[in-house]
């Protein structure tokens, strides 16, 4: 009788092992699909990375142009202020 119980127990354990293995295989398949999706997403991001570099270069160029315009404007304002101060000083002397 105990031999029969041992055999039944072994069969039950084997069935549980097979069920666990099937669940593990299913989960591995899900992980593989997720990894493929992540890989595709990363590839898309890297391929669009070239456009980002071009955008950065364009923004740097625009920044340099704006800095040059700002420097010109500051120069003009400084000379206007100096001219106004000279006029005010001349009026004060007169």
3-class secondary structure per residue, the chain: CHHHHHHHHHHHHHHHHHHHHHHHHHHHHHHHHHHHHHHHHHHHHHHCHHHHHHHHHHHHHHHHHHHHHHHHHHHHHHHHHHHHHHHHHHHHHC
Compute the average pLDDT of residues 31-37: 91
Say if residue 52's pLDDT is above 80.
Answer: no
Say if residue 85's pLDDT is above 90.
Answer: yes
pLDDT at 60: 95
Sequence spans of domains, the chain? 1-47, 51-94
Report the share of the chain in percent with pLDDT over 90. 41
């Amino acid at each position: 009788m105990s031999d029969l119980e041992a055999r039944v127990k072994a069969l039950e354990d084997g069935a549980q092992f097979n069920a666990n293995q099937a669940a593990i295989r299913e989960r591995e398949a899900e992980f593989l699909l997720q990894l493929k999706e992540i890989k595709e997403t990363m590839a898309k991001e890297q391929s669009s990375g070239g456009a980002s570099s071009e955008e950065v270069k364009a923004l740097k160029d625009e920044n340099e142009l704006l800095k040059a315009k700002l420097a010109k404007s500051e120069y003009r304002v400084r000379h206007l202020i100096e001219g106004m101060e000279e006029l005010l000083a001349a009026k004060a002397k007169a």
